[in-house]
Amino acid sequence: MAGDNRSPVTVIGLGLMGTALAGALLSAGHPTTVWNRTPEKADDLVERGARRAASVAEAVAASPLTIVCVSTYEVTHELLDPLGEALAGRVVVNLVSGTPGDARRSAEWAAKLGVPYLDGAIMAVPQLIGTPQGLLFYGGPQELYDAHASVLQVFGGQTTYLGEDFGAPLVYDLALLTMLYGAGYGWVHAQALINSAGIPASAFQPFAQAWTQHVILPGVGDLDHGRAIDQRDYATEVSNINTNRLALSHVIGASEEAGIPVDALTPLRGHLDALVAEGHGLDGFARVWEKLRPAAD
Which residues make up the interface to ligand NAP (CB under 6 A)? 13-18, 36-38, 41, 69-71, 75, 78-79, 96-97, 122, 125-126
* CB neighbour list of residue 157: distance below 8 Å, 6 or more residues apart: 131, 132, 133, 134
Shortest spacing between CB 155 and ligand NAP, in angstroms:
11
Amino acid identity for residue 197 in this structure: A
Residue 172 or 285 having the CB closest to ligand NAP: 172
Shortest spacing between CB 243 and ligand NAP, in angstroms:
38
Q: How far apart are CA 168 and CA 162, in angstroms?
A: 7
Residue 73 or 285 having the CB closest to ligand NAP: 73
Shortest spacing between CB 68 and ligand NAP, in angstroms:
9
* CB neighbour list of residue 193: distance below 8 Å, 6 or more residues apart: 254, 255, 258, 260
Q: Which of 120, 90, 83 is nearest to 103 (CA)?
A: 120
Residue 147 or 162 having the CB closest to ligand NAP: 162
Shortest spacing between CB 73 and ligand NAP, in angstroms:
9
β-strand partners of 51: 33
Shortest spacing between CB 92 and ligand NAP, in angstroms:
15
Reduced to 3 states (helix: H, G, I; strand: E, B; else coil), residue 91 is strand
53 DSSP assignment = P
Residue 79 or 87 having the CB closest to ligand NAP: 79
Shortest spacing between CB 124 and ligand NAP, in angstroms:
6
Alpha helix (H) residue ranges in 95-240: 100-113, 142-152, 168-196, 201-211, 217-221, 223-231
Q: How far apart are CA 84 and CA 88, in angstroms?
A: 8
Residue 17 or 154 having the CB closest to ligand NAP: 17
Residue 36 or 63 having the CB closest to ligand NAP: 36
| Long-range contact pairs involving 273-279 (C-beta distance under 8 Å, separation at least 24) | 273/245, 275/241, 276/241, 276/242, 276/245
Residue 11 or 147 having the CB closest to ligand NAP: 11
Shortest spacing between CB 114 and ligand NAP, in angstroms:
24
Q: Specify whether the CB–CB gap between 239 and 286 falls below 8 A.
A: no
**Residue of closest CB approach to ligand NAP:** 15
